[in-house]
Amino acid sequence: MTKTRKYKQMKLIDNFNRVHDYLRISLTDKCNLNCIYCNPDHHIHFGFNNDKILSYEEILKIIRIFAGSLQFKKIRFTGGEPLVRRGVFDLFEKVKKIKDEFDIQFGITTNGTLLKGNALRLKNSGIEKLNISLDSLQREKFLKITGRDNLQDVLDAINESEAAGFNPVKINVVVIRNINDNEILDFVEFVKDRNLNIRFIEFMPFGNNQWQRDGFISYKEMKDIIESEYILNPLYSDVSDVAKDFSISGFKGKVSFVTSMSEHFCNTCSRLRISADGKMRVCLFSTGKEEINFKTLLRNNYSETEIIELVHSAIKYKWEKHPEPEELAKLEQNNMLTIGG
Ligand code: SAM
């Protein structure tokens, strides 16, 4: 049997026996916000030109390969900010067909600033899962963190998305000491009577984001702050989930923690990433040794079987776990905007 035929219709498994079935696709490396923890040096990064990024047609081809031959179960669109890309809602409508054809779930992660007025359209498209990033409930602080005075737009988008029926709307909060740690309890109150899931995310280091140990707050510390006021009841999570989930008696909303640094979940990692310019990364923090470029492959007419073979070879480069935060902070070429969060 040839190597190519061997790989046809085979799950994607790495050297540590981890099955990969979750793909995150960055639709653009451009963003309309300049969050202090993501793109503090915004003057050095203006985004790729359109011919440098995957076209929607190419993205749909990639999705079909992953949903079909590679048997992926989840795809999430991210960025940069996915909603700044022109025509993006048409893409979301097109994936509905793929969702119906394969057993696959689509989601997006957005800063929510451009969602107002479009939440129902999004809900009626192929997108089932919605994460909205929001790091402060205070107007001045939102401006300080993001560089834009858009808090009300994001709050309106959250209201609209909840009403549109996203179940639940997940709210991503990156917690940084002396920036927004004093709002942890406000965020918990925010979900009391609402179908929202607040997710407190540990601050992660990237080469360009001036991460410092002083700014880092661990999951345990966040949890202690919440438990000074509320009782958190652990909820069952699927092994592939990255969040630790909790309910609070009498609360409609849920509270979760994404503990990428203090209690990493590399041992159950099922994710691959494709950047806006088509590069596949096997880990958010990988240095690119494994990189294959879908833009080059598709524009040079590689067949689906050849592409599948290359993906199977690349996954063997995945490390068992990512290095410690101080080491990650030194990886200059890594940044969230190009890799896609
Ligand atoms: N623009 C979209 C947004 O704001 O949600 C999608 C891209 S953003 C890079 C994806 C997620 O990564 C957001 O929830 C953001 O807060 C998170 N993120 C970015 N930099 C991070 C960091 N250094 N540590 C932890 N989370 C980070």
Q: Residue 43: what pLDDT?
A: 46
Q: Classify 12-339 by CATH class.
A: alpha beta
Q: Per residue in 59-100, pLDDT tens?
A: 999 999 999 999 999 999 999 999 999 999 999 999 999 999
Alpha-carbon span 137 to 142, nearest angstrom: 7
Question: Environment class of residue 90 by beta-carbon count within 10 Å: exposed (0-12), middle (13-18) or buried (19+)?
Answer: exposed
Q: Report whether residue 79 contacts ligand 1, using a CB cutoff of 6 Å.
A: yes
- CA atoms in the 13 A half-sphere facing the CB of 84: 16
Q: Report whether residue 111 contacts ligand 1, using a CB cutoff of 6 Å.
A: yes
User: Where do the domains of the chain lie?
Assistant: 12-339
Decide: 179 and 145 in contact? Cβ < 8 Å: yes
Q: Per residue in 289-322, pLDDT tens?
A: 777 999 999 999 999 999 999 999 999 999 998 8
Is this structure's pTM higher than 0.85? yes
What length does the chain have? Answer: 341
Token look-up 């609209």 returns 160
Bridge partners for 243 per DSSP: 258
Q: What is the atom index within ligand 1 of the atom nearest the CA of 209?
A: 23
- Evaluate the CA torsion angle 249, 255, 256, 261 in order and state its sign: negative
Q: Residue 264: what pLDDT?
A: 85
Q: For the chain, list residues with pLDDT below 50.
A: 1-4, 43-44
Bridge partners for 172 per DSSP: 133, 199
Q: Report whether residue 28 contacts ligand 1, using a CB cutoff of 6 Å.
A: no
